């Protein structure tokens, strides 16, 4: 059912959307239900320890996600790009414009959430991979999306463009064994706030969504890693997590997707520079 009719015919890129049951897939699905034309992005191939199978969407899986979404909205294409390479990000934006004639929405969802471990064991390659994908990639995607949005007319009651970046509870609070990830997600909030000030006069809104833990495929790996690191069983770790959340459950992909769709809609046209918690009350600032 269409919840936001003003999204009908809009064009969106959703990065990191090549895995079934992932956050990107859920966000893309929700936008497709509201009539948004989509470019699904993912890396498309594994690249050793820095991009293992549990962390990236392979081209075959991304194609399958796209085919699933075409049952909702036929206007779905895919694009493989390494978020560490600005030229590939620029080409992704060009692909969206070549496919659909414009670009209205960017959802910065691609991220590395699997290079965990003690700070003293971190390598330069690990740090660079996390920061270059999670933060630098989001910055360059924003840069090239905005360049296109600036060429487009302002739509009455909606604006000229929407940028939504996926942060984390880790955008606001720290945790052990995740220093580079936490640094990158704090950076997303700073980037969001600065860009919102700069782009507000052009009627381009810039916001972040900050979910707590979501048990996607990658989330399941994270649960197992953290439980082992803390000397807990998986059941003990999950029970402790639920105990910290006032609503008593971990996040679901649809929770984040619903927040993204709202921020992309005309109902959010006066909201910019925000880092919206979607955490069941676990994070309140």
Whether 10 sits among the annotated catalytic residues: the reply is: no
Phi, psi torsion values for 46, nearest 5 degrees: -80, 150
Contact of 280 with 168, CB cutoff 8 Å: no
**Which residues are within 8 A (CB) of 141 and not within 5 positions of it... i.e. 6 or more apart?**
13, 15, 83, 89, 92, 93, 106, 108
Contact of 170 with 121, CB cutoff 8 Å: no
Candidate list 4, 100, 114, 181, residue with the active-site label: 181
Contact of 259 with 276, CB cutoff 8 Å: yes
Q: DSSP letters along 210-222, please?
A: EE--B-SHHHHHH
Report the candidate in 124, 177, 116, 166 with the shortest Cα–Cα distance to residue 142: 166
Report DSSP state, residue 160: S
Candidate list 102, 185, 228, 237, residue with the active-site label: 185
Whether 228 sits among the annotated catalytic residues: the reply is: no
Question: What does the radius of gyration of the chain's CA atoms come to, in whole angstroms?
Answer: 18
**Which residues are within 8 A (CB) of 206 and not within 5 positions of it... i.e. 6 or more apart?**
142, 163, 165, 192, 195, 196, 199, 272, 273
With H, G, I as helix, E, B as strand and everything else as coil, classify residue 262.
Answer: helix
Cα 134 from Cα 114, distance rounded (Å): 12
**Residues with active-site annotation:** 181, 185
């Amino acid at each position: 059912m269409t919840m936001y009719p003003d999204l009908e015919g809009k064009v969106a890129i959703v990065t990191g959307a090549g895995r079934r049951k992932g956050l990107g897939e859920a966000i893309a699905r929700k936008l497709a239900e509201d009539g948004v034309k989509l470019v699904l992005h993912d890396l498309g191939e594994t690249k050793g320890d820095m991009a293992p199978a549990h962390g990236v969407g392979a081209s075959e899986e991304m194609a399958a996600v796209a085919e699933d979404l075409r049952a909702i909205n036929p206007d779905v294409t895919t694009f493989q790009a390494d978020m560490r390479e600005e030229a590939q990000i620029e080409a992704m934006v060009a692909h969206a414009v070549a496919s659909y004639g414009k670009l209205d929405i960017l959802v910065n969802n691609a991220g590395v959430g699997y290079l965990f471990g003690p700070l003293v064991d971190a390598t330069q390659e690990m740090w660079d991979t996390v920061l270059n994908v999670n933060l630098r990639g989001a910055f360059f995607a924003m840069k090239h999306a905005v360049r296109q949005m600036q060429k487009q007319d302002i739509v009455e009651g909606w604006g000229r463009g929407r940028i939504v970046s996926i942060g984390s509870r880790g955008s606001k609070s720290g945790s052990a064994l995740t220093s580079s990830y936490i640094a990158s997600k704090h950076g997303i909030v700073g980037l969001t706030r600065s860009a919102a000030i700069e782009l507000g006069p052009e009627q381009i809104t810039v916001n972040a969504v900050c979910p707590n833990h979501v048990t996607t495929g990658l989330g399941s790996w994270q649960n197992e890693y953290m439980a082992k690191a803390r000397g807990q069983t998986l059941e003990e770790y999950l029970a402790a997590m639920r105990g910290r959340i006032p609503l008593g459950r971990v996040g679901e992909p649809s929770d984040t997707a619903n927040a993204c769709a709202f921020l992309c809609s005309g109902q959010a046209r006066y909201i910019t520079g925000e880092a919206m918690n979607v955490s069941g009350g676990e994070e309140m600032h």
